[in-house]
Amino acid sequence: MMRQYELVERVATYTKEPNEALLNKAYVYAMQKHGEQKRASGDPYFSHPLEVAAILTDLKLDEDTIAVGLLHDTIEDTDATRREIDEMFGEKIGHLVEGLTKLKRLDLVSKRAKQAENLRRLLLAISDDIRVLLVKLADRLHNMRTLGVMRPDKSKRIATETMEIYAPLAGRMGMQDLRDELEELSFRYINPEAYETVMSYLRELGEKNRSITAEISGTLEQRLAERNITAKVKSRQKKPYSVFRKMETKQLGLEQLSDIFGFRVIVDTIEQCYLTLGIVHTDWAMVPGRFKDFISVPKQNDYQSIHTTIVGPSKQRVELQIRTWKMHEVAEYGIAAHAAYKEGDDDFSHSKAYASLRKTIEQLAESDNPEEFLEHTKLELFLDQVFCFTPKGQIISLPTGATPIDFAYAVHTDIGDSCIGCKLNGKIMPVITELQNGDEVEIIRSDSQSPPSAWQSVVVTGKARSAIRRASRQAARKQYRTLGVRILEREFAKVGMTYEADEIEAVLPRLARESMDDMLAQVGRGEIKPMDVILAVNPEFKHEHSDTKSKANSDQSSGRSFFSLPTIMRRTPEKRKSEKRAHIPIRGVNDDLPIEFAAECGAVPGDQIVGILDPDKGITIYPVEAPSLSRFKGDKEHWIDLSWDVEEATKDRFPARIRILAKNAPGTLADISRIIAHHESNIQNLNMQVPVDDFAEFEIDVEVKDLVHLTRILQQLSAQKVITKAERLLG
């Protein structure tokens, strides 16, 4: 274990006059309190806070933070109290130690609602003092380094929490080295087979390319020295999880990856960065589309560098990062490298990374729905950034994968709500186009527009998603209000009364409703029965079914049960049909309205769906891409925004229609049926035509779990030699 004087010496390497008394006192206090406690590995427990303190010295943090690292488990695991720590070390250190104690009890991979609340508490603690995060990250890093002694189920759970929460937070604070190590350690426990495969490949590739990387580094340093630029060129290899993530997102094999090796060129000044870039691009060809200038426009976590890719000395692609030594320190240590921190200044508002984090957390904290908070947090905090421009030159920072819709909402909610199109770099483009760094975005607006519900699956920012949901709820409320009026008009007419809005508004207190709009929307949703409204207007009205009900009660009291027949015997065909429809897992309709899938196309989970209301027949569900929806284009008031309510493990199957063009040969139909059956799907209907002698066309109604399931079936069908084309029909 590291001794007291060694800890002080580590701090002295970057602080001229370290607070030796504070460090010694915290060291001795923590050692005494933890006493004979042991870790799961059998090591003395004190070794853990000592290693946490060592990690904090690697980050070159101040003595107060290192003292908190030494003390962070004392309240939780010993008889130490907050009051005692306040008296010995001051209220500021006591406050941080107590905050970390509370965070230690948080379960960040629990049920979604609980996870959201715990994550909210973590982020609010971070926004109060960034040192909470820095100590927590050091604590988590040492725990991950010693995770091998845990049970496999517990180690996987801790690794998952680290990968989903702590590694992205480290990245958001610019602490890339720490993030890389957390991801690599988590990857080892979450997917050990993939980890070993990637590591084996990287070791083999490293040995194979050692001479090439040395040659490139030497050549670059020599070329720059000839222009009087003193530079340090460091080769670097992609981390295992970064390689695996790229393989997954790009659907590539290991041998297809071309950017596993890269180089950092570190110079003294910003001017030399751009001179180096000019020399590199003059001597070697640049790969188009692979240039980014994060010096001119820094990332949200304060990262600065020039990124470019060239065709190197040996005619291979070479990735370069060009930066100054100061930028390099920020890239490695992130916010921990901030000079103000070393001077003991607690105001980090001038740090772009911390200011951005606090602003984001303040926005997230306004969310009332815990699950929406969790979703928005992961969208806002844990994605890389792209930088785009308004026509007036204002920079808008957005998560990678953002669309012009996200851009519109980032500028202003009203602009997002009224967006009907966009121009990217002067050209009209779809609003679902993924934005790239440097794009100029102009939003085309219309005051009569409201955002389609389907945009929720397109946008990537929490602000856009919340606004679209809010607008969708308002639109749905308007639809239900209109439906409520029609239902009441019809029901009043049935009993010989006239629907009068003024009369109904006068009796709203009898219905326990405050506004007419609320009442009408609830009638449309089936939450208020029309007969209750009729009786509120005319309490003397006698419902025609009341006599039947009295007769039933009389029959029961006389010993005869009017409802004695089995329920199934008394269901009419219409009733059975309605009950079957009610089991379709859809959100956005009430249980009183029968629903069904459009016969010509069906719909499956994963589709964006819309309902078409027929007051007499119910609601028919269509995918939003279905061409047959065009016939309802002029009747928008009958459109209802719907969404799926399906559990991941559901065994339900949903209808979809596919078309297959295949060779008209013996066994073709058998091959098609075998593939569909192999994927645990079922054929409901089949129609076959032979337009020409050599080919047959099949239209098949299948039942599938979701869109992914359907896509896999179509992919395997398309891969067969006898099949020319396999596609979904949307009607």
Domain boundary among 190, 209, 242: 190
Q: What is the pLDDT of residues 633-662, one digit of tens each?
A: 767 667 887 878 777 667 788 889 999 988
To the nearest whole number, what is the mean pLDDT of the chain?
80
Q: Are 268 and 230 in contact (CB under 8 A)?
A: yes
- Measure the CA–CA gap between 91 and 423, rounded to whole angstroms: 55
Query: Terminus-to-terminus CA distance in the chain, angstroms?
Result: 71
Q: Give the pLDDT band (50/70/90) at residue 395.
A: confident
Q: Give 244-288 pLDDT, tens digit per residue.
A: 887 877 666 776 676 677 899 999 999 999 999 999 999 888 888
Q: Binning pLDDT at 50, 70 and 90, where does residue 370 land?
A: low
DSSP one-letter code for 568 = G
Q: Kindly state whether residue 697 falls inside one of the protein's structural domains.
A: yes
d(CA 265, CA 322): 5
Band of pLDDT at residue 346, cut at 50, 70 and 90: very low
Domain end: 644, 667, 688, which one? 644
Residues 6+ apart with CB under 8 A from 418: 445, 446, 447, 449
Do 256 and 123 share a domain, yes or no?
A: no
Q: What is the CATH number of the domain that holds 204?
A: 3.30.460.10
Quote the pTM value. 0.54
Q: Which two tokens stand for residue 288?
A: 């188009």
Residues 69 and 201 in one domain: no
pLDDT band at 475 (very low <50, low <70, confident <90, very high): confident
Is there a single domain that holds both residue 492 and residue 528?
A: yes
Which has the closest alpha carbon to 60: 169, 175, 160, 139? Answer: 175
pLDDT above 80: residue 448: no
Statement to judge: residues 223 and 172 lie in one domain:
no
The answer to whether residues 174 and 213 belong to one domain is no
Residue 389 within any structural domain of the chain: no
89-93, 246-250, 547-551, 616-620: the lowest-pLDDT one: 547-551
Whether residues 49 and 138 share a domain: the answer is yes
Q: Are residues 74 and 154 in the same domain?
A: yes
Q: Are residues 34 and 178 in the same domain?
A: yes
User: For the chain, what is the domain count?
Assistant: 5
CATH of the domain at 123: 1.10.3210.10
Tell me what pLDDT residue 527 has: 80
**What DSSP line would sit under 486-529, residue for residue?**
HHHHHHHHHTT----HHHHHHTGGGGT-S-HHHHHHHHHHTSS-
- Per-residue model confidence as pLDDT tens digits over 191-249: 999 899 889 888 888 888 788 888 888 888 888 999 899 899 988 888 888 888 878 77
- In this structure, are residues 308 and 322 in contact, taking their beta carbons and an 8 Å threshold? yes
Q: Do 137 and 108 share a domain, yes or no?
A: yes
Examine the pLDDT at 353 and tell me if it is beyond 70.
no
Which of 342, 375, 403 is at the close of a domain?
342
The answer as to whether 402 is a domain residue is no
Q: What is the pLDDT of residue 39?
A: 86
Instruction: With respect to residue 601, please indicate whether it lies within any of the assigned structural domains.
Output: yes
DSSP symbol at 632: G
What is the predicted pLDDT for the residue at 145? 92
Tell me the three state secondary structure of residue 257.
coil
Would residue 410 count as lying in a domain? no
- 191 CA to centre of own chain: 20
What amino acid positions are annotated as catalytic residues? 76-77
Contact 97, 68 (CB under 8 A): yes
Tokens of 708: 């992914």
Tokens 């580590």 belong to which residue? Answer: 10
At residue 301, the pLDDT reads 75
pLDDT, greater one: 94 or 648 = 94
- Domain range enclosing 154: 4-190
Strand partners, 696: 662
Is the Cα torsion angle 563, 568, 569, 573 positive or negative in sign?
A: positive
Residue 557 belongs to a domain: yes
- Tell me whether residue 72 is in a domain: yes
Q: 702 or 238, which is more confident?
A: 702
Are residues 626 and 480 part of one domain? Answer: no
Residue 41 and residue 184 share a domain: yes
53 pLDDT band, cuts 50/70/90, is: very high
Rounded to whole angstroms, what are the CA distances from 590 to 30, 519, 524, 549, 597? 60, 15, 8, 25, 16
In a domain, 239, yes or no: yes
539-597 pLDDT, tens digit each: 877 655 444 444 444 443 333 333 332 332 333 334 334 434 445 777 666 556 678 88
Tokens at 180, concatenated: 């890389």
Q: How far is CA 258 from the centre of its chain?
A: 28
Question: What pLDDT score was predicted for residue 339?
Answer: 41
59-87 tens-digit pLDDT? 888 899 999 999 999 988 888 899 999 99
Specify whether 257 is located in the same domain as 307. yes
What are the tokens at 12? 């002295």
